[in-house]
Amino acid sequence: MQIDALIAGELEGAGFSEAELAALRFCEALTLRSNEIPDAVFDELRKHFDEGEVVEICMVAGLFAYFNVVNNALRVEPTR
């Protein structure tokens, strides 16, 4: 159910905790507009995670964004 919600972009009501939702919203903002992450997104993330955890979430999201860029450039087809 949660994976389907992620694919559909419908996170509300999919059983994610408030902390998970904050992390997912941050990761989405980082992926779509890393230079313009709204303060509200950071504020919500910091309600649930300390600075070390915020850095870790950012690094993991950034690493997977990198994988996506490379896979797109190499025209690697995603698998399920």
The chain-wide mean pLDDT, for the chain, equals 91
| Both tokens assigned to 16 | 């994610």
Provide the pLDDT for residue 25: 93
pTM greater than the 0.85 cutoff: no
DSSP-derived letter for residue 74 is: T
Provide the pLDDT for residue 15: 86
CA distance 30 to 64: 11
| Both tokens assigned to 72 | 């797109």
Tens digit of each residue's pLDDT (9 = 90 or more) over 31-63:
999 999 999 999 999 999 999 999 999 999 999
Tens digit of each residue's pLDDT (9 = 90 or more) over 24-34:
999 999 999 99
CA-CA-CA-CA torsion sign (9, 62, 52, 45):
negative
